[in-house]
Structure 1
Amino acid sequence: MGRVTQRRTIVRVTVGAGDDGSEVDVKRSPDSLAAEEPLEIRIGPGGGARPPLTVTMRTPGDDLDLAIGFLLTEGIIRHSGDVQTAQLCAGDQEPNTYNVVDVVLSPGVPAPVVDPSRNFFTTSSCGVCGKASIDAVRTRSHFDVAADPVTVAPAVLASLPDALRHRQRAFATTGGLHAAGLFTAAGELVCLREDVGRHNAVDKVIGWAVRQNRLPLAGHVLMVSGRASFELCQKAWMAGIPVLAAVSAPSTLAVDLAEEAGLTLVGFLRGPTFNIYAGAQRVDGTVPAAEALPVALPGQGSRP
Structure 2
Amino acid sequence: MGRVTERRRVIRIRDGVVSTRPDTLVAEEPLEIRLGGKPLAITMRTPGDDFALAAGFLVSEGVLARADELTHIVYCAGATDSEAGGANTYNVVDVRLADGVPVPDITLERNVYTTSSCGLCGKASLDAVRTRTRWPLDTGPDTPVRIEPATLAALPDRLRAAQRVFERTGGLHAAALFTADGELLDIREDVGRHNAVDKIIGRALQEGRLPLSSAVLMVSGRASFELAQKAVMAGIPVLAAVSAPSSLAVDLAAETGLTLIGFLRGSSMNVYAGAHRLAVDGAAG
Tell me the alpha carbon deviations over residues 110-141 of structure 1, each in whole angstroms, 9 at most, x when there is no partner. Answer: 2221267842111112144xx8x552573221
CA distance in 2, matches of 1:283, 1:110: 38
CA distance in 2, matches of 1:181, 1:116: 30
| Structure 1 SS opposite 2:181 | coil
Match of residue 271 from structure 1: 266
Once the two structures are TM-superposed, the CA of residue 25 in structure 1 deviates from its matched residue by: 1.1
Once the two structures are TM-superposed, the CA of residue 146 in structure 1 deviates from its matched residue by: 3.0
CA contact (8 A) 1:2 1:98 kept: no
Q: 1:134 to 1:25 in 2, by over 3 A?
A: farther
| Structure 2 SS opposite 1:217 | coil
Match of residue 92 from structure 1: 80
1:8 is aligned to 2:3: no
Once the two structures are TM-superposed, the CA of residue 43 in structure 1 deviates from its matched residue by: 0.6
Match of residue 55 from structure 1: 42
Residues 64-79 of structure 1: pairs in structure 2 closer than 5 A:
64-79=51-66
Q: 1:261 to 1:6 in 2, by over 3 A?
A: same
- Residue 51 of structure 1 aligns with an amino acid whose one-letter code is K
Match of residue 159 from structure 2: 164
The runs of 5 or more residues in structure 2 that have no matched partner are none
Q: Of residues 138, 141, 145 in structure 2, which corresponds to 1:146? A: 138
Q: 1:116 to 1:27 in 2, by over 3 A?
A: closer
CA distance in 2, matches of 1:6, 1:238: 34
| Structure 2 SS opposite 1:248 | coil
CA distance in 2, matches of 1:113, 1:171: 37
Q: Which moved more, 1:105-114 or 1:255-264?
A: 105-114
Q: Of residues 215, 222, 225 in structure 2, which corresponds to 1:227? A: 222
Residues 103-122 of structure 1: pairs in structure 2 closer than 5 A:
103-114=95-106, 118-122=110-114
**Structure of greater relative contact order (alpha carbons < 8 Å, 6+ residues apart):** 2
| Structure 2 SS opposite 1:258 | helix
CA contact (8 A) 2:34 2:41 kept: yes
How many aligned positions are there?
Answer: 274
- Residue 181 of structure 1 aligns with an amino acid whose one-letter code is A
- Residue 124 of structure 2 aligns with an amino acid whose one-letter code is D
- Residue 237 of structure 1 aligns with an amino acid whose one-letter code is V
Once the two structures are TM-superposed, the CA of residue 152 in structure 1 deviates from its matched residue by: 0.1
Once the two structures are TM-superposed, the CA of residue 145 in structure 1 deviates from its matched residue by: 0.8
- Residue 159 of structure 2 aligns with an amino acid whose one-letter code is L
- Residue 58 of structure 2 aligns with an amino acid whose one-letter code is L
CA distance in 2, matches of 1:210, 1:199: 16
Q: 1:115 to 1:7 in 2, by over 3 A?
A: closer
Match of residue 21 from structure 1: none
Q: Which moved more, 1:224-233 or 1:93-102?
A: 93-102
CA distance in 2, matches of 1:167, 1:79: 28
Q: Of residues 40, 43, 65 in structure 1, which corresponds to 2:32? A: 40
1:27 is aligned to 2:19: yes
The runs of 5 or more residues in structure 1 that have no matched partner are 16-23, 45-49, 298-304
1:83 is aligned to 2:70: yes
- After TM superposition, the score normalised by the length of structure 2 is 0.91
Match of residue 135 from structure 1: 124
Once the two structures are TM-superposed, the CA of residue 222 in structure 1 deviates from its matched residue by: 0.1
CA contact (8 A) 1:64 1:87 kept: yes
